[in-house]
Amino acid sequence: MIRDASAFEQTLSSLRRYVKERLIPREAEVEERDEVPEDIVQEMAGLGFFGWSIPEAWGGTGMTTEELVLAAMELSQASVAFRARVGTNTGIGSEALVADGTPEQKDRYLPRMARGELTGAFALTEPEAGSDAVALKTRAVRDGDHFVLDGTKCFITNAPIAGLFTVMARTDPTDLTARGISAFLVERGMPGLSTAAPYRKMGQAGSPVSEVHLQGCRVPAANIIGGQEGMGFKTAMKVLNKQRIHLAALCTGPAIRMLDEAIAWTCQRRQFGRPVAEFQLVQALIADCQTEIQAARALILQTARQRDDGEDVTLQASICKYFASEMCGRVADRCVQMLGGTGFIQGHPIERFYRDVRLFRLYEGTSQIHQLNIARRTIAKAGFQVGGRD
């Protein structure tokens, strides 16, 4: 659903211009310095990017799912680090609060997140609980009007720069299912919370990711999201459901950009006396990229509209994430191929995107986990039941 079509078209066209004129020219600097320059962070904050998915009542833009994915497809045509900088606030770092926070919790944090003054992070994964997130071991033990959290979270996006962490911890040690898990809002500065040095990664330079350590970390009981114990995993699944559609859009923007770059290259690169784009085997690569990009875009937009209409899109969201992330990997590979040796040499955006987009098939559910979800839900829809993971 788009609330005001002509106003939103204007938003998208200024965003497109901003990406082209301000972000793309700074990509090499981000890669070199491994950070998004502060002046760009301030500009993006001033333009309201951090508040895209935060409701207007708390100072955000309150984008619908359809609006959010359209904006995400534009922003993600620049280096993934730019959108990752705002991406936890427009996604997993604020969504638990938006979905299930109490009015007091929302008042306390969301306005600052919408302004980009406070960066959120979502801390679910642990060294021994990745795909099997329910196996998480971080404990939260009540002590008067506080809980004391102990555990380690790993691979947490924006942890080194975040001021607020949504931490999933087990409040009921006797219940090893999802029902034993609660979601806590943990502020940087609460005693016992620390973050490690950023990992050195294959790609996505400029997007810091690290471990989060909780050692006797005292968190007020009032900071359980929604005020209710045992609801954390349900909240996490709500977050991931929306985020999977959002992430699918964030896989589509880079694919669009890579194809644009590859077309520009193949139309000017001459071999055998003519531009390589004239060779039909190269054209097949272009056609396959374009077809898959369009298919992903259509699927994502349809799912976003269904979500805005209040439909249960759990199956569709998984399909979007699985298809778009795999599509983006195939597009990246074909685009390197179209560039020949140049695609392998540092300094060309396609070489960087090729490394950056590899992550999409791993986080927020690996492709295998989505295949399982999709198959199981499809079988169940057909009226059958098979055993295994939910």
Ligand X SMILES: Cc1cc2nc3c(=O)[nH]c(=O)nc-3n(C[C@H](O)[C@H](O)[C@H](O)COP(=O)(O)OP(=O)(O)OC[C@H]3O[C@@H](n4cnc5c(N)ncnc54)[C@H](O)[C@@H]3O)c2cc1C
Q: Considering the candidates 66, 326, 351, 364, report the single residue annotated as catalytic.
A: 364
Whichever of 362 and 380 has its CB closer to ligand X, that residue is 362
State the number of CA atoms in the 13 A half-sphere of 113 facing the CB: 37
Under DSSP, is residue 205 helix (H, G, I), strand (E, B) or coil?
coil
Q: Is 156 in the site for ligand X (CB under 6 A)?
A: yes
Least distance (Å) between residue 386 CB and ligand X:
13
- Rounded distance, CA 188 to CA 219, Å? 11
Whichever of 19 and 209 has its CB closer to ligand X, that residue is 209
- Rounded distance, CA 58 to CA 45, Å? 15
Q: Is 55 in the site for ligand X (CB under 6 A)?
A: no
Contacting range for ligand X; rule: CB under 6 A; set: 67-75, 138-146, 255-263, 366-374: 366-374
Cβ distance 218 to 267 under 8 Å? Answer: no
Whichever of 65 and 166 has its CB closer to ligand X, that residue is 166
Tokens representing 246? 């959002």
Length of the chain: 390
Q: Is 359 in the site for ligand X (CB under 6 A)?
A: yes
Q: Which residue has the tokens 């995107």?
A: 353
Reported in sequence order, the residue ranges of 96-208 that DSSP labels E, i.e. its strands, are 120-123, 139-143, 146-157, 164-170, 181-187, 193-195
Whichever of 203 and 220 has its CB closer to ligand X, that residue is 203
Among 14, 291, 368, 378, binds ligand X (CB under 6 A): 368
Among 75, 84, 86, 209, binds ligand X (CB under 6 A): 209
Give the containing element (helix H, strand E) for 20: none
Spatial CA neighbour of 222 closest among 269, 176, 190: 190
Dihedral of alpha carbons 180, 185, 191, 197, sign: positive
Q: Is 184 in the site for ligand X (CB under 6 A)?
A: no
Contacting range for ligand X; rule: CB under 6 A; set: 152-160, 277-285, 306-314, 336-344: 152-160
- Rounded distance, CA 96 to CA 74, Å? 24
Among 222, 362, 379, 380, binds ligand X (CB under 6 A): 362
Judge whether 364 counts as a catalytic residue: yes
111-150 footprint of ligand X as x/- string (CB under 6 A)? -----------xxxx----xx-------------------
Q: Is 202 in the site for ligand X (CB under 6 A)?
A: no
Whichever of 297 and 370 has its CB closer to ligand X, that residue is 370
Q: Which residues bind ligand X (CB under 6 A)?
A: 122-125, 130-131, 155-157, 209, 359, 362-364, 366, 368-369, 372, 389
